[in-house]
Amino acid sequence: MRKRNHAQAPKGAAAGTCRDRRRPQGQRREAWVRPLRRVNHAIDASVRVLCSSLRTAAAASRRAPWRPVRASRDLHEASMLLLHASFRLMQAARELEEAAACAAREPENASDVPQLLAAATERWVLLAGLLNENTARVFSAQRAVLEDLRTGALVPERPADPRPRIILAPRPVPVRAFLRLRQPRVVDRIASLLRRRRRTPRPAALRVPRRAILGRAPPLFSDCLL
């Protein structure tokens, strides 16, 4: 018998357990649900991109008098964002058609679809109008900046000094030295280290007593040879 590390939550709806989110056996999702969800996602993405392009265009218009070249580049970036928003709006239109077709094939399961489609279509039409209006505004602002640069009403700013870049080049390891260090035997791998740590060789004329007789008195020799 194993000891549990945590207390088991009581079962039942009254105890605060989560409900089963799985669909019952044999019941499937309606075909119009997924396209309609993709419609809303595409419209929301288009709104976010449109807001980002408007912020970029507003910042470019403010800096145009003293930095016209940078402002023209920012306005071009805003126009690219508007193009991306139009692509997402076209995707939403295709998903609207698919959702309407799926609802027409199963009218018995699509009682709420007309209201949902009407709300999504209203959002799409409103967003399309805003997109067309702001696209014309951004293109006219970019055209005005370029025309002022051509006529000399705006003076291009001096290009910024290039900052020095520090590039760290890797030092390649010599192949022969690497292979020498990767010898299969340990003795071969540490031979160079042992060679560096070896002591200075003694001179040949130097006599050192053996370690066994260190600390002993020297032997006594008699002066008499007889």
State pLDDT tens for residues 151-166.
988 888 887 767 777 7
φ and ψ at 188, to 5 degrees? -70, -30
On the question of pLDDT at 27 being above 70, the answer is no
Angle, helices 113-151/33-63, rounded to nearest 10 degrees: 20
Contact of 51 with 121, CB cutoff 8 Å: no
pTM across the whole model: 0.57
Contact of 117 with 96, CB cutoff 8 Å: yes
Residue 60 has a pLDDT of 92
Report the alpha-carbon distance of residue 179 to residue 185 in Å, rounded.
12
Who contacts 195 (Cβ-Cβ below 8 Å, separation ≥6)?
none
Average pLDDT over residues 180-191: 68
Percentage of residues in the chain with pLDDT exceeding 90? 39
Percentage of residues in the chain with pLDDT exceeding 70? 62
Residue 123 has a pLDDT of 93
What ranges do the domains of the chain cover? 30-151
Angle at CA 210, nearest 5°, toward 209 and 215?
75
pLDDT tens per residue, range 131-150: 999 999 999 999 999 999 88
Looking at per-residue pLDDT, the higher value among 41 and 168 belongs to 41
Average pLDDT over residues 214-224: 57
Instruction: Tell me 183's DSSP state.
Output: -
On the question of pLDDT at 5 being above 60, the answer is no
On the question of pLDDT at 178 being above 70, the answer is no
Report the alpha-carbon distance of residue 200 to residue 58 in Å, rounded.
79
pLDDT tens per residue, range 33-83: 888 899 999 999 999 999 999 999 999 999 999 999 999 999 999 999 999
Residue carrying structure tokens 């799409």? 124
pLDDT band, residue 20 (cuts 50/70/90): low
